[in-house]
Amino acid sequence: MRMFKLSSVFLLACVVGLLAGCSHEKEPAPASRPTGHRIITFSPGLTCIVFDMGLGDQVVGVTRYCALPPGVVRPLLGDRLNLTGEALLQLDPDMIFVQQDPRQFEELRKFKADLRIEHFTLERLLDIPLAMRRIGELMNRPDLAKSAVERFVQRLREVTQSVHCLPRPTVLFVMGYERPVVAGPDTFVADMIDAAGGTNVGGAIEGYTRWRDASVEGILKAAPDVIVCQVEPGQEEAAKEFWNLLTELPAVQRHAVYVVTDRMWTIPGPGLTDLTAQLAKMIHPEALATSGPTSEPSEPATPPVESGQTQAGKPVPPMPAEPGSQPATASCPSTQQKGP
């Protein structure tokens, strides 16, 4: 297990510095100490959650992969594989929020005994409101947590209700195209697909991890009706050309391959509710063309056709009012419960 190594030079240092965002700009001057807590959010997802809750003024450092609100900067602290303990302790935090193994931070306690390392799990969609509640408790702001949870759950409920009685096409979310990685079961993307009225076929790709490597043969075998492919900006056209060559895929035949470049698709944060709304329009373009979620989806790899066959299934129930509660039951007209 990797541990941080602290140089002896650090014993004389305890100053604030560095910059946030996801760029390589010049580091800013040291920031003044904010009131309340001093938090390092060592996870892009946790950074998004804390800022969305209105607690960003208490964040003193983030990773280089974190996305911050426009105009906001914070010290950059590397990432889980490239970090020194000095950089963390120079910011004098009282809590560090992490997703990785918290034991990797234990070495820091030798120099700051009262430092709290708080671990969070953000694998599933409903882990996000649970994290909001816990952050509210840790930072003595349960009121902000309550508001954030209500916004998150209400937005998801709006999406699930808009697709509740629609057929459920099979959907595959893919990162990249030359060496594709797909979202398997028990991932927040799988939950998004379910909430948006689809059926995730990432589990049909062989693998033992939530996010798994995929071959072209495996994707062809899974035969998704809809593909959402996340690539880096500038790779859109190449990705479209790649998928359009796989004419056996139902998604290609239905003109239902969507290429996206927003990296927030793979950051488990509050913004996933709006992306779930976009996903619903990708899965059900005709049904939600003039109603339902307000966010517009990305353009498909080829112009959409007027209709296409889908693999129907059971309608998705609406999101529960509170994380962990039982979903409310709802009925659909019998003519809509059946597939095409």
Quick count: other Cβ atoms within 10 Å of Cβ 84? 15
Q: Which residues pair with 172 in a beta bridge?
A: 227
Q: What are the backbone angles phi and psi of residue 120, rounded to the nearest 5°?
A: -130, 145
pLDDT at 52 over 70: yes
Residue type for position 60: V
Which of 32-41, 154-163, 185-194, 295-304 has the lowest average pLDDT? 295-304
CA distance 199 to 215: 20
Directed axis angle between helix 127-138 and helix 142-163, to 10°?
A: 170
Q: Are 152 and 48 in contact (CB under 8 A)?
A: no
The pTM (predicted TM-score) of the whole model is 0.78
**80: closest CA among 45, 54, 50?**
45
Could you state, in order of their start, the residue ranges of all structural domains in the chain?
Answer: 8-120, 166-323+330-337
* The pLDDT of residue 36 is above 90: no
- Produce one character per residue of 100-125: b if its CB has 16 or more CB atoms within 10 Å, e if not: eeeebbeebeebeeebebeebebebb
Overall average pLDDT of the 313-339 stretch:
45
Q: Is 158's pLDDT higher than 50?
A: yes
Exposed, middle or buried: residue 12 (CB in 10 Å: 0-12, 13-18, 19+)? exposed
Instruction: Tell whether domain 8-120 is in CATH 3.40.50.1980.
Output: yes
In percent, the amount of the chain with pLDDT more than 70 equals 75
pLDDT of residue 28: 44
Three-state SS for 84? coil
Cα–Cα distances (Å) from 212 to 143, 215, 231, 265, in that order, read 38, 10, 16, 16
Better pLDDT: 262 or 286: 262
Domain 166-323+330-337 sits in CATH at 3.40.50.1980
8-120 and 166-323+330-337 agree in CATH topology: yes
Q: Average pLDDT for residues 236-241, to the nearest whole number?
A: 96
**Tell me: the pLDDT tens digits for 265-300?**
999 999 999 999 999 999 999 887 755 433 344 555
- On the question of pLDDT at 255 being above 60, the answer is yes
* Bigger pLDDT: 57 vs 315: 57
**What is the per-residue pLDDT for 326?**
41
Q: What share of the chain is helix, strand, coil (3-state, %, to 5)?
A: 35, 15, 55
